[in-house]
Copies of this chain bind each other. A is one copy, B any other.
Amino acid sequence: MQSVELDISVTADDAILWRDDVLYLLDQRRLPQEERFIRCQDAADTAEAIRAMVVRGAPAIGITAAYGVALAVRQRYAEAPEHWRGRVAQDMQLLARARPTAVNLFWALERCRRELETVAGGDPFPPMLVLAQRLHEQDRAMNRRMGEFGASLIEGPTAVITHCNAGGLATGGHGTALGVIRSAFAQGRITEVFADETRPWLQGARLTAWELVRDGIPVQLMADGAACARMGAGGIGWIIVGSDRIAANGDVANKIGTFSLAVAARHHGVKFMVAAPTSTIDPDTASGADIPIEHRAAEEILNCAGCPVAAAGAGAWNPVFDVTPAQLVDAIVTEKGVILAPDAAKIAHHLSG
């Protein structure tokens, strides 16, 4: 992969850049120490960048894949104007295999496939690029609407707590939880953000702090265990997090540690908000108990920054996500609006409305 620096002042909205007819992906593995981009000229480059987690976050991966299809179409049409379709189909399989569990990736590729079916003749690249840019812009616009809906709930001015990274880096821009925070900060409703460092991967320290510093929003990192004491110290109006999947009854799967925040928030009378697009809500998952929870390697806990810290012989319990029961959620915010005190009926109505 070709790593380059770009002559721009980088923000979280630059995670996916189409520039000079190539795709630049901000290399999130190097943040915050270095702000470098991976240059993608074809589908192979793009698939490798997705696989290597240069880009992460379900919406960001989907948008990246769409640009990858545009790159594939341009290359294969130039190579063989009469026989590009078979080669592009192979490229799309390559992209689909890059992160096999990413639902947004398949969704984006399916959108591309349908678009390609409508291309009758001539150069298929311009309409594919338009589609990728439209998906990108739609995601950003959705996050801005979500941000406005979420911000309207925050009376403020208040400090808030967030967990992991549900930011511009994980989306087409603006972010989900961080989108609400950006919108509310711009309106003077949020004064300061306390960010959990989010062990074991430290996304809060590495990514969320970087995004907020770049945007000039005051941010203080803390150990995950400190959040409860921070709420007790006062001045925290809301906990604002994203979600990886929301069940039909409003139970919320999100990064490990979210459940702990929700329980502490209820104890302290702090409000708990989940910001996520409606595509995160899975009507086929009845409750949180039906959400499969990925457990990752013990080494993530037994090591720290690549060095072993724990005694040989110790095990580890390392789930990636936990499930916060709907009863502890004060509001789910989507691009369509707000669901207060979510339950199955309200969520079904929200999805159908």
Give the interface segment out of A48-56, A78-86, A305-313: A305-313
Interface of A is mostly: mixed
For the complex, is A314 an interface residue (Cβ under 8 Å from B)?
yes
**Distance to closest chain B CB from A208 (angstroms):** 9
Number of interface residues of A (CB under 8 A): 63
A8 to B31, CA, bound (A): 46
With a cutoff of 8 Å between Cβ atoms, the chain B residues found around residue A31 in the complex are 311
Q: Do B260 and A221 touch (CB < 8 A)? A: no
Q: Given A219-B314, A228-B263, are A305 and B307 neighbors across the interface (CB < 8 Å)?
A: yes
Q: Hey, what's the 0/1 contact readout for A297-327 against B, CB within 8 Å counting as 1?
A: 0000110111111111111111100110000
Of the residues B221, B228, B310, B318, contact of A317 by C-beta under 8 Å:
B221
With a cutoff of 8 Å between Cβ atoms, the chain B residues found around residue A311 in the complex are 31-32, 209-210, 213-214
Q: Do B200 and A223 touch (CB < 8 A)? A: yes
Q: Do A221 and B302 touch (CB < 8 A)? A: yes
Q: Do A225 and B257 touch (CB < 8 A)? A: yes
Of the residues B213, B222, B258, B323, contact of A301 by C-beta under 8 Å:
B222
For window 70-100 of chain A, which residues contact chain B by CB distance below 8 Å?
A: none
Q: Given A197-B301, A304-B202, A309-B202, are A225 and B222 neighbors across the interface (CB < 8 Å)?
A: no
Best-buried of A219, A223, A224, A301 by chain B (most CB within 10 Å): A223
Q: Do A260 and B256 touch (CB < 8 A)? A: no
Residue of B nearest to A223 (CB): B199
Q: Do B205 and A304 touch (CB < 8 A)? A: yes
Q: Do B228 and A322 touch (CB < 8 A)? A: yes
Q: Do B219 and A315 touch (CB < 8 A)? A: yes
A319 to B254, CA, bound (A): 26
For window 216-271 of chain A, which residues contact chain B by CB distance below 8 Å?
A: 218-230, 232, 256-261, 263-264, 266-267
With a cutoff of 8 Å between Cβ atoms, the chain B residues found around residue A258 in the complex are 225
Best-buried of A221, A266, A267, A318 by chain B (most CB within 10 Å): A221
For window 285-300 of chain A, which residues contact chain B by CB distance below 8 Å?
A: none
Best-buried of A213, A222, A311, A319 by chain B (most CB within 10 Å): A311
Of the residues B202, B222, B305, contact of A318 by C-beta under 8 Å:
B222
For the complex, is A198 an interface residue (Cβ under 8 Å from B)?
yes
For the complex, is A206 an interface residue (Cβ under 8 Å from B)?
yes
With a cutoff of 8 Å between Cβ atoms, the chain B residues found around residue A307 in the complex are 305
With a cutoff of 8 Å between Cβ atoms, the chain B residues found around residue A194 in the complex are 317
Of the residues B206, B214, B224, B313, contact of A225 by C-beta under 8 Å:
B224
- A residues touching B (Cβ–Cβ < 8 Å)? 31-33, 163, 194-200, 202, 205-206, 209-210, 212-214, 218-230, 232, 256-261, 263-264, 266-267, 301-302, 304-319, 322-323
27 pairs of residues in contact across A and B, judged by CB atoms under 8 Å:
A31-B311, A196-B225, A197-B199, A197-B309, A198-B225, A199-B224, A199-B225, A206-B309, A209-B311, A210-B314, A212-B314, A213-B314, A220-B315, A221-B314, A221-B316, A225-B225, A225-B261, A226-B256, A226-B257, A226-B317, A226-B318, A226-B319, A229-B319, A230-B317, A263-B263, A266-B267, A305-B306
